[in-house]
Chain A
Amino acid sequence: MTQTDKKPVLECKGLHRYLGDPEQRVHVLKGVDLQLFRGNTYAIVGPSGCGKSTLLYTLGLLDRQNEGTILVDGIDVSKSNEDQRTRIRNEKIGFVFQFHFLLPEFTTTENIMIPMWKRGNRKTLTMERRAHMLLQSVGLGDKTERLANRLSGGEQQRVAVARALANDPPIVLADEPTGNLDVKNSNIVFELLYQLSKRNNQAVLIVTHNPDIARRCDYILKMRDGVFTASESAG
């Protein structure tokens, strides 16, 4: 899992995570080590309940590990406070979930601009142009002013992909991004993630149950009982 010639953009060492009540807690992640590099697509596969999503949320700083360290762009964020973690999520990490989670009251353009508004490093016009460019890149250039709830499921997930890329994050974390889509839309969404990660030199980590999607990633990481059991280059 290491690529010694480059510096990992996301790295975790000895990651442990327990879930549930203190009396009946489940040891979900049992010392996970992982390094992700820019320009690569990684698939985590494994049976349900093995800790794939927990790992993704922990790496995405949506959840806090019980033990271990997480480095984003070489910076240890394991002990960062809530505000620092939120800022890192805004600037360094893009999320795509099984459900699109678009805000239905906003247009597609605005949904993509929401992370940019928060970051506030661009002028409104620049944000709007970037949102249009991203919509163009996911094939929705003609639906820039459409309300999010007026799109089909596949289109909504493509907008969610565009939103994940809004702030040009070096890391994209996707939790079963195609899990709710038909085969055709699954392929479209995966291809988008894959191609955009190459074009933008981003590390993409996808949790999936779909073996076809996993096979098309650069690396497949097999997980069982809270640890990686194998990793292989899919290419």
Chain B
Amino acid sequence: MSPNFRIAVRFLLSKKRSMLMSLAGIVLGVGLFIVAQANTTGFEKLFIKTVLGANGAVRVQDKFQETLTSIQIEQEDTGRQFEFGRASGRKYRPGVEHADKVIESLYQFSNVLAASKVLRGAIDVSNNFKAEPAQLFGIEKDMHMLVSDLEEQIVFGSMLDFQRNPRGALVGLALAERMMIEPGDSILFTVGDESHRVLVSGIYETGYRDIDRERIFIDINQARRILKRPHQTSYIQVSLFDVEKADDDRYLMESVVQHIVAPWQEREKVWLQVFQAVRISAMISLSSIIFISGLGMFSTLAIIIMEKTREIAILRSIGYTRRDVTHIFIWQGFIVTVVGILTGWLTGATLTLVASRLPIRIRGIFSTDSFVVDWSIWHYVIAGMIAFIFVMTASIIPSRRAAKLEPGDVIRGTSG
């Protein structure tokens, strides 16, 4: 053990109460930082999982289309030709063209796991109780299970029944609750003047309220018949092996399939930014606790140095260099910082564990019945780094001041 460390430990122990206050601040700051990050990241990840489970990592939507038509005109006098663009006469065609070929092209991408066609259209749904507007989603029953978590989201009824029954439908929980629909019920879809009766095979819940209150899933061929849009595909839902690369894959996919490609990062940009803002806000506010602990450490060390000027002087007189004196006080800051960080990590982990077991029912943009936490080593690393930087910086300043004390002046002053 180095003499500087040994002296530092003793000096530290002589100021137990002040040091414990600084230590408590670091522990609290680090612990709360970790639990806040675990919660915000946990909820963000759950939201992303919900979004991916409902809408897939990537959506291939409308085909790229010219917004202007152009006609070639020949100048009478010179005979030269030029193009003339005009907006009138153009009609934007939503949806995917040649969906099977687009899917075939998508499978050329190594990151694509599965792709499934979806037809979407507005309907009115009714039963004996009431009528509601809804969105009909025609899906390829088997393939859609590979691009969504629909199977896991069934809360009542049976997916098997849905897959076997060509007239089976899956209704969102919020819509089902509003219309008092239960599995086995018969419901009526109305499009224009025509009505079609289907059987409710199951009720699903994604947790995303906008989805659960309006989407009804049926077989895509049934949907085409009901919506009178044979062969049409509104979009292709794609699942990826690495969802984080969705945004990167997008441009290459667009250039290959010549359709608009919407990765989940872009589709959910607003919510993702909200989560990011909450996470950064929590990071800043909890870092301030650590910052205040750093100030506490600064004042504690400053007081120790004021009280120990004679001891510093005698250490200098018996051969301890200015560097040694600096190290003695930096060691004290280091010990408190390290103990604070380690205890803070333990506190953070315990609080995170407790938080994960706290019951809380949240529906809206995801579905959970308890606090959601994310266990990430990075939360601990970042909290530790912030504490280390703040507290060590606060320790270095008084330590350097201690080293500047002139032993002769101190001893002469004490001797009177």
The residues of A with any CB-CB pair to B shorter than 8 Å are 53-54, 57, 60, 62-63, 82-83, 86-87, 89-91, 95, 97-99, 101, 103-106, 114-115, 117-120, 163, 166-167, 175-176, 179
Q: Which of A54, A87, A114, A163 contacts B3 (CB 8 A)?
A: A114
Q: Which residues of A contact B324 (CB under 8 A)?
A: 118
A112 to B10, CA, bound (A): 15
Query: With A86-B320, A90-B318, A114-B318 given, is the CB distance from A101 to B311 under 8 Å?
Result: yes
Q: Fill in one digit per residue for B319-331: 1 if any A CB lies within 8 Å of its CB, else 0.
A: 1111010000000
Q: Which residues of B contact A117 (CB under 8 A)?
A: 3, 6
Query: With A83-B321, A98-B415, A105-B14 given, is the CB distance from A114 to B315 under 8 Å?
Result: yes
Would you call B319 and A57 a contact (CB within 8 A)? no
Residue B13, interface by CB 8 Å: yes
- Near A by CB (< 8 A), chain B positions 3-53 give 3, 6-7, 10-11, 13-14
Q: Which residues of B contact A90 (CB under 8 A)?
A: 318-320
Would you call A53 and B412 a contact (CB within 8 A)? yes
Would you call A89 and B318 a contact (CB within 8 A)? yes
Q: Which residues of A contact B316 (CB under 8 A)?
A: 62, 86
Would you call A103 and B314 a contact (CB within 8 A)? yes
29 CB contacts below 8 A, A to B, read A53-B412, A53-B415, A57-B408, A57-B411, A57-B412, A60-B317, A62-B406, A62-B407, A62-B408, A62-B411, A63-B408, A87-B319, A97-B414, A97-B415, A101-B313, A101-B414, A103-B7, A103-B311, A106-B10, A114-B3, A115-B319, A118-B3, A118-B318, A118-B320, A119-B319, A166-B318, A167-B319, A175-B411, A175-B415
Whole-angstrom distance between the Cβ of B325 and the nearest chain A Cβ = 10
Q: Which residues of B contact A163 (CB under 8 A)?
A: 318
Q: Which of A63, A86, A167 contacts B321 (CB 8 A)?
A: A86
Would you call B318 and A95 a contact (CB within 8 A)? yes
Q: Which residues of B contact A54 (CB under 8 A)?
A: 412
A67 to B70, CA, bound (A): 97
Q: Which residues of A contact B311 (CB under 8 A)?
A: 101, 103
Whole-angstrom distance between the Cβ of B320 and the nearest chain A Cβ = 6
**Sorted from nearest, which 4 A-B pairs have the closest CB atoms?**
A90-B319, A117-B3, A62-B408, A105-B10
Q: Which residues of B contact A115 (CB under 8 A)?
A: 318-319
Residue B310, interface by CB 8 Å: yes
Query: With A57-B412, A63-B408 given, is the CB distance from A103 to B318 under 8 Å?
Result: no
A163 to B14, CA, bound (A): 22
Q: Which residues of A contact B414 (CB under 8 A)?
A: 97-99, 101
Q: Which residues of A contact B11 (CB under 8 A)?
A: 105
Q: Which residues of B contact A119 (CB under 8 A)?
A: 319
Q: Which residues of B contact A120 (CB under 8 A)?
A: 3
Query: Smallest CB-CB separation from A88: which chain B residue?
Result: B319
Whole-angstrom distance between the Cβ of A4 and the nearest chain B Cβ = 32
A105 to B304, CA, bound (A): 13
Highest count of chain B CB atoms <10 Å: which of A82, A87, A98, A115: A115
- Near A by CB (< 8 A), chain B positions 387-416 give 406-408, 411-412, 414-415
Query: Smallest CB-CB separation from A163: which chain B residue?
Result: B318
- Near A by CB (< 8 A), chain B positions 288-320 give 310-311, 313-320
Would you call B14 and A97 a contact (CB within 8 A)? no
Q: Which of B310, B319, B407, B412 contacts A118 (CB 8 A)?
A: B319
